[in-house]
Amino acid sequence: MSENLQIGFNLMIIGMTVVFFILFLVFAGGNLLIRVVNRFYPEITGSIKFEPKSGNDKLAAIIAAVDIVTSGKGKIEGIKKVD
């Protein structure tokens, strides 16, 4: 095997090893971050149910759509009109 080919293969192996190591660090760091956040900031249970006033059909439709799409887990924090 020629010297240039040997150098190329060595460089490829070193590069692939470095990329694999960095991806492993990103994966492990992400999992660690998820575990820490879930431990110290648990999910808040219990929510305030919003009962729409009569005569506001648009708001009632938005609330019903969010309830259906999120299986009752979503909540609407605010509605703003976009100009």
Tens-digit pLDDT string for the chain (83 aa):
799 999 999 999 999 999 999 999 999 999 999 999 988 887 766 555 556 555 677 777 888 888 888 888 888 888 887 87
Distance between CA atoms of residues 80 and 9, nearest Å: 59
Please give the structure tokens belonging to residue 42.
Answer: 């648990």
Amino acid in position 64:
A
